[in-house]
Amino acid sequence: MPAASAVRRIAFWIPVLPSRAELEQLLRAASPGPRPARELLGALAANRRVLMFRALAWLIKLDLLRVVAPPG
């Protein structure tokens, strides 16, 4: 039953993966320029912020976003 096992593994991850809409919202928030992570995540639903923080880390790891030093 390898297929059934794969379906269970995928079903486990669905609730913790960001939706396309969440990723688009995060990228739109980041598009004007550098902002603190708390500002980028501030507009998202509170119960999804931890998961979206992880998504933010992956976007940085994949070089889709960058970490910059604060001015000053």
pTM over 0.75: no
Q: Does the structure show a pLDDT above 80 at 4?
A: no
Q: Give residue 13's pLDDT.
A: 60
36: tokens are 């603190």
User: Given pLDDT bands bounded at 50, 70 and 90, which one contains residue 5?
Assistant: low
Query: Among 29, 45, 46, which residue's Cα sits nearest to residue 56?
Result: 29
Q: Give residue 14's pLDDT.
A: 61
Q: Does the structure show a pLDDT above 70 at 62?
A: yes
Dump pLDDT digits (tens) for 24-61.
988 898 899 888 888 888 878 888 888 889 889 888 99
The amino acid occupying position 32 is P
What DSSP designation does 45 have? -
